[in-house]
Amino acid sequence: MLSVDEAYRAIVAAIAPLPAERVSLTAARGRVLAEDVIAREAIPPFDNSAMDGYAVRVADVAGAREDAPTTLRLAGDLPAGANPAGVRVEPGTAVRIMTGAPLPEGAEAVVMREDTHEHADRVEVRCPAAPGEHVRRAGEDVAAGQVVCRAGTPLKPAVIGVLASIGAAEVLAVRRPRVAILATGDELVGLADALGPGQIRASSSYALEALVEAAGAEPIQLGIARDTRADLAARMAEGARADLLITTGGVSVGDHDLVKEVLAASGEMAFWRINMQPGKPLAFGHVAGTPVIGLPGNPVSTLVGFELFVRPAIRKLQGHAHLRRPPVRASLAAEHVKRGDRRQFLRAEVTWEVGGFVARLEARQGSHQLSGMARGNALVVLPEGPGRYAAGDAVEVVLLEEIESYASGHPDAE
């Protein structure tokens, strides 16, 4: 039996990032950049005004005061987008200039409109200006010729903005993984079917599709395989056309748990037991070169296995350097006794209180009780071996959701 960390390392070591493709900047959102991008253009591309105001010469306004303004003659008007050719700030003059407009020749600084008063063809300036004041220099954000983004950078919104600012209409980005989802079990039916005797919904298939999508990959539903070698082999072969195949159920020691056997016969079964609870029976292998993660059938085990192994595997395919959510520390709201040797992942509701995160364990901790996980927003990680925990003890928690979901109190009370 492997430890959680051994299994994690074995899985991510067996998976390589997907090839890259040149795509539009819009299509690249959320992916990982696969090239160093060099700025052909400087940002800003030209010296420009940081304020709405007046472009001036420093010497002209050196003596300007609130109670002793300097009067300058207006020699032009430069809105944003204007061509400054032919506009010049001569001694004794100023040019009206708006934020983002190019600095005219002869200008050394910009005086804010708030420190001036304009009438007719003159402007009174009520304060002096330092050289370069309220001027944004060409290239002071990004210099031309500089590497703006390195290969491996996740294309988050601010990075998309930087790339757009230098005119990168297309970028080389790692391809979006296609992840096939295969449920197994004679008892399973889909949402469109009526429940017969002994049947349940293949609920995990729907949850997994949502998780794959949330991880930035493309889910491919392969439906429900019957518990026969032939059906499993045929559908796993189909799943091997994706970049990653995940299956649910059929990996334990039951009479009809055939996933491991078919995996071994169709390709390679590397290991199938992990020292964790829930989710001990979890198989990893390959079919036709495609990695296969056989998740356990109980829905909570399925989702915990996804978080610990599938999500990192998807991120590895996507070219990310950081694969796992780092755990944070929380204090337990109530005492807890842990039995058993396995590392435990308990479903909890974590809130951010003054002083840190607080974790309340859900009442329903059965691996078949997905409602406990649905109510919660985190996993409390308790280390291998038995343990007694008092209220207030610090534990590790994996936060599964967006940070807003940890706000305490009434939703609008922030």
What does the binding site for Mg ion look like in residue numbers (CB under 5 A)? 185, 249-250
Does 305 help bind ligand AMP (rule: CB under 6 A)?
Answer: no
Does 252 help bind ligand AMP (rule: CB under 6 A)?
Answer: yes
Write down the least CB distance from residue 206 to ligand AMP, Å: 8
Does 249 help bind ligand AMP (rule: CB under 6 A)?
Answer: yes
Does 250 help bind ligand AMP (rule: CB under 6 A)?
Answer: yes
Window 138-177: contact mask with ligand AMP (x via CB under 6 A): ----------------------------------------
Write down the least CB distance from residue 264 to Mg ion, Å: 17
CB 270 within 8 A of CB 284: yes
**Closest C-alpha among 393, 287, 269 to residue 330:** 393
Q: What is the 3-state secondary structure (H, E, C) of 96-122?
A: EECCCCECCECCCEEEEHHHEEEECCE
Does 277 help bind ligand AMP (rule: CB under 6 A)?
Answer: no
Q: If contact means CB under 5 to 8 A according to the sort of partner, which of Mg ion, ligand AMP, none does residue 373 touch?
A: none
Q: Tell me the H-state helices in 293-347.
A: 299-305, 311-317
Write down the least CB distance from residue 166 to ligand AMP, Å: 47
CB 265 within 8 A of CB 221: no
User: Side chain identity at 284, as an amino acid letter?
Assistant: F
CB 264 within 8 A of CB 315: no
Write down the least CB distance from residue 200 to ligand AMP, Å: 6
Strand ranges (DSSP E) for 79-217?
93-97, 109-112, 116-119, 122-125, 135-136, 147-149, 170-174, 178-184, 188-189, 200-201
Window 184-213: contact mask with ligand AMP (x via CB under 6 A): -x-xx-----------x-xxxx--------
Residue 140 or 213 with smaller CB distance to ligand AMP? 213
Residue 128 or 279 with smaller CB distance to ligand AMP? 279
Residue 250 or 312 with smaller CB distance to ligand AMP? 250
CB 51 within 8 A of CB 353: no
Does 386 help bind ligand AMP (rule: CB under 6 A)?
Answer: no
CB 297 within 8 A of CB 12: no
Does 48 help bind ligand AMP (rule: CB under 6 A)?
Answer: no
Q: How many residues bind ligand AMP (CB under 6 A)?
A: 19
The backbone torsions φ and ψ at residue 303, rounded to the nearest 5 degrees and listed phi first, read -75, -35
Coil, strand, or helix at residue 212?
A: helix
Q: If contact means CB under 5 to 8 A according to the sort of partner, which of ligand AMP, Mg ion, none does residue 299 touch?
A: ligand AMP
